[in-house]
Amino acid sequence: MADSTLVFIVLGLTLAAFVWGRFRYDLVALTALLASVMLGLVEADDAFMGFGHPAVITVAAVLVLSKGFERSGLVDVIAEQALKVGERLVLQLLVLTGTVTVLSAVMNNVGALALLLPVAMRMAREHDSSPSLLLMPLAFGSLLGGLMTLIGTPPNIIIASYRGAQSGENFGMFSFFPVGAVVAAVGLAFIVLVGWRLTPRREGQSSAEELFDTDNYLVELKVGEESKAIGWTLREMHEALEETIPVLAVVRDDKRRAGHAFHGSLREGDILLVEGGPEEMRLLEDKAGLSLGAEAEDEDEDEGEDADTAKETARDEETQQKKDKQGKKKRNGVDTEGLQLVEAVVRNDSMMVNRTVVQLRLQNQHGLHLVAVARDGSRLKQRLREIRFKPGDVLLLQGDEGGLAESLATLGCLPLANRNLTIGQPRMLLLSLGIFVLAIIAMLTDLLPAAVALSTAALVSLLVGVLPLRDGYQAIDGPVIVLLAAMLPVGEALDTSGGAALIAEAMLALGSGWPPVATLVALFVISTLLSNVINNAAAALLMAPIAASLASGFGLSLDPFLMVVAVSASCAFLTPIGHQSSTLVMGRVDIASATTGSSACRCRWWCCW
């Protein structure tokens, strides 16, 4: 069987696996690479050369620098200015989308989006607007900004490296700017003036704090004289209950101690501030001997009230809570100030995905206390220890203020709304920007290649403390690196086997009477469609050899064909799985709506159309 036929079979199966999505794209890419080696399409000695390819090194360095921007307090500076824009939606869109477009030109697209996503959520809340009007334009703006520079997006880096391999000279830092800036400007104008009107939404009447309205779930429980819980630690109580019921605070001698930081033993008279419903209350009463704090105090004040009356009161409260769920809200008066709560969303690449709170050892290893979980815009009612987290889940967490941001970053969660928490960590902002500017100058003056200049900047950032070493390693997106490194040899096999030439010849034959511009349009459409169902870097790797063959067939310059592939590979606007930025906001619309007072529809495949 001809090598070109084998390449088409491997690539066909690889594309099918990408679209299927059953296995993560890095595993699919690695499988394609090893299959190509076994079939003789890639030399065994060259199989893993991709891990040292300049494009892969450049992507890794950009990810580290992007994380440095995030930790330097850039988000706080942007948020402070963006929130001054006022109530006009057009101005909000212009500021948010324009800012993310500029940022994504010099940093990772997803990193730029992650910086501004909390700002957009806060803005939607403060102005009681549908978050879908801000989130989808924000995701699209992050894609547009990446078109403008070499380091804006992985496809640009790949195309620049491919040009260097073909002609001996890479695209420079701002070689993409004339084309990318025009496309970004037109796209931004469309989003701000027209696009937001097409965003799916439906207005609702939910309250601004409905999703995690802790006041409706917090209850004070008292450790009585005969309580089994006397002498227990909170951990021992959870083991006895076989359930991790969130204890947000322990009140002793009129002093409140945060539940996640309370390591002593319970005493008679202690008050536990517990987050739970009627079932949890019964469990605490039966197995720990705790009683409702309010009823216990009433017993001291009213000698005629006994335990049966307290239970009857508890049943009445349960009935009242059911009525509250039907639309009548209840406030139990529990003071929630200073509880150090934060809402965070589980990212697609989070270590929490498909794992439970027990498997993660959230309290012991990360110092976080899980209070509640919301999915698809509604709060989950099942036991917390049984929930397997999914991308897009919104968590209500409690922890030490100083370590919350670091713990969330380690777990792969993105803060959405803070409750008594400053998410940003302002430090070394000017230093991080200065290091980056020096790297850009070294690239522009041809003093250093892009991979070397950016790697040096990343190293210096780590050495001077802009970014801790552990965070630097965590910033490198392993799946993307493996995808690029594995698909580079496979893409070369498409070229060396003659497969790319066969595709180009077929396109030339079909459009023999077409002008070259029509062929460029066809190449753009094919690359765009491909990038909406597989990773955009993989789309660029596969289409670059075909573009080169077309340029050779027409006898024209290689540059416009490669530029078409670079731009089209980043135009993943049609589906929410085409790019990580779109995936990041998929489902957040509905979740965010529950916390802003709107009820916007959940993003689906057709919403991006």
Return d(Cα 154, Cα 211) in angstroms, integer.
Answer: 37
What is the percentage of the chain residues whose pLDDT exceeds 70? 78
DSSP H stretches of helix in 367-498: 401-411, 429-444, 450-463, 469-475, 478-496
Residue 471 near residue 71 (C-beta atoms within 8 A): yes
Using the Cα atoms of residue 471, residue 143, residue 583 and residue 151 in order, give the sign of their dihedral: negative
CB atoms within 10 A of CB 43: 12
Tokens 């929930």 label which residue?
Answer: 387
**174 pLDDT higher than 60:** yes
Residue 337 near residue 328 (C-beta atoms within 8 A): no
Give yes or no on whether 214-325 and 341-419 have one common fold: yes
Q: What is the pLDDT of residue 159?
A: 93
Q: Name which of 31-35, 205-209, 266-270 the model is least confident about.
A: 205-209
Q: Residue 417 pairs with which residues in a beta bridge?
A: 343
Q: What is the pLDDT of residue 185?
A: 94
Q: What is the pLDDT of residue 325?
A: 40
Return d(Cα 396, Cα 409) in angstroms, integer.
Answer: 15
pLDDT-derived band at 460 (thresholds 50, 70, 90) equals very high
Report the CATH number of the 214-325 domain: 3.30.70.1450
Sequence-distant (6+) residues with CB within 8 A of 12 are none
**340 pLDDT higher than 70:** no
Radius of gyration of the chain (CA): 28
**592 pLDDT higher than 50:** no
User: How far is CA 26 from each of CA 93, 177, 482, rounded to the nearest angstrom?
Assistant: 34, 30, 6
- Among 276, 461, 462, which Cα is nearest to 370's? 276
- Among 228, 130, 146, 242, which Cα is nearest to 187's? 146
pTM: 0.67
Q: What is the pLDDT of residue 131?
A: 74
pLDDT-derived band at 218 (thresholds 50, 70, 90) equals low
CA angle 410, 412, 413 (to 5 degrees): 110
Tokens 């690539």 label which residue?
Answer: 11
Report the helix count and the strand count for the chain, using DSSP H and E.
26, 10
Return d(Cα 27, Cα 512) in angstroms, integer.
Answer: 39
Q: Domain extents for the chain?
A: 56-204+429-478, 214-325, 341-419
Return d(Cα 291, Cα 508) in angstroms, integer.
Answer: 80
**467 pLDDT higher than 50:** yes
Tokens 């009242």 label which residue?
Answer: 320
CA angle 305, 309, 310 (to 5 degrees): 95
Residue 577 near residue 533 (C-beta atoms within 8 A): yes
User: How far is CA 349 from each of CA 21, 139, 353, 355, rounded to the nearest angstrom?
Assistant: 14, 17, 8, 13
Return d(Cα 252, Cα 267) in angstroms, integer.
Answer: 9
**pLDDT, tens digit, 9 for 90 and up, residues 72-95:** 777 667 767 777 787 888 888 999
SS3 content of the chain, % helix, strand, coil (to 5): 60, 10, 30
Report the CATH number of the 341-419 domain: 3.30.70.1450
Q: What is the pLDDT of residue 417?
A: 54
Average pLDDT taken over every residue of the chain? 77
- Among 218, 237, 229, 209, which Cα is nearest to 339's? 218
Return d(Cα 529, Cα 109) in angstroms, integer.
Answer: 20
Return d(Cα 505, Cα 525) in angstroms, integer.
Answer: 18
Q: Name which of 62-71, 160-169, 379-388 the model is least confident about.
A: 379-388
Residue 341 near residue 396 (C-beta atoms within 8 A): yes
Q: What is the pLDDT of residue 453?
A: 92
Give helix 450-463 / helix 54-71 axis angle, nearest 10°.
Answer: 40
**332 pLDDT higher than 50:** no
Q: What is the pLDDT of residue 563?
A: 94
Q: What is the pLDDT of residue 26?
A: 86
The torsion defined by the Cα of 271, 277, 283 and 285, in degrees rounded to 10, comes to 40
